A and B are shown apart, each in its own frame.
Chain A
Amino acid sequence: QLQLQESGPGLVKPSETLSLTCTVSGGSISSSSYYWGWIRQPPGKGLEYIGRIYYSGSSYYNPSLKSRVTISVDTSKNQFSLKLTSVTAADTAVYYCASLRRGWFDPWGQGTLVTVSS
């Protein structure tokens, strides 16, 4: 059964780069059935799609974040990663990774809270 787990710093300073990794277990990240995505949720607010990547490295981003986001994949480690540059307090959120099958996100990781503060 596919499982995902986010990891990375819980505190990032303003203007710096947020970096998170998602480790996939119970299946191969090189499966042709899935994309691998990132979603975030600011405290008390709704969900926001960040972007997704295919095992081949093809990536697609939310236009509103595209200038600051990079998603990469490491098939040898069964991991994919998120980098968000020039962060501000508005980027404080729970960040989820999830597998994306055609049109829906499932399963999701447990989520990790990233706070942007000096």
Chain B
Amino acid sequence: QSALTQPASVSGSPGQSITISCTGTSSDVGGYNYVSWYQQHPGKVPKVMIYDVSNRPSGVSNRFSGSKSGNTASLTISGLQAEDEADYYCSSYASSTTYVFGTGTKVTVL
């Protein structure tokens, strides 16, 4: 099972919106609605930001939203803030009853 493909880096200015893509196959992202997104600050534990493609856990800012089209899922951060600077990983359930993570995207707030 290969890692899901994410851009290595995405940047934006405060207040702007950015979108991170997560591309897989019909055996993972495209085949199931079990896509989740994680934020990880340096040296910290990953934190779930989105689950089941587009659902936000309690306590996560509504500036974070998720969607999916075909084999590609996306995480959008609107109203970008300095605290959003972190690494972001997508994850998907995959056939063969496994899970797969994305390659990770470093978000920089300019």
Contact = CB atoms under 8 A, between A and B. Distances in A.
Interface of A: 37, 39, 46-49, 52, 60-64, 96, 100-106, 108-111
A63 B1 contact: yes
B101 A96 contact: no
B96 A46 contact: no
A62 B102 CA distance: 14
Interface residues of B, number: 27
Contact of A104 (B52, B97, B100, B104): B52
Interface of B: 1, 3, 32-36, 38, 45-48, 51-52, 57, 89, 91, 93, 96-104
Nearest to A103: B34
B101 A48 contact: yes
Contact of A96 (B45, B51, B104): B45
A29 to B, nearest CB: 19
B48 to A, nearest CB: 4
B57 to A, nearest CB: 7
Contacts of A37: 99
A59 B49 CA distance: 26
B1 A64 contact: yes
A61 B100 CA distance: 11
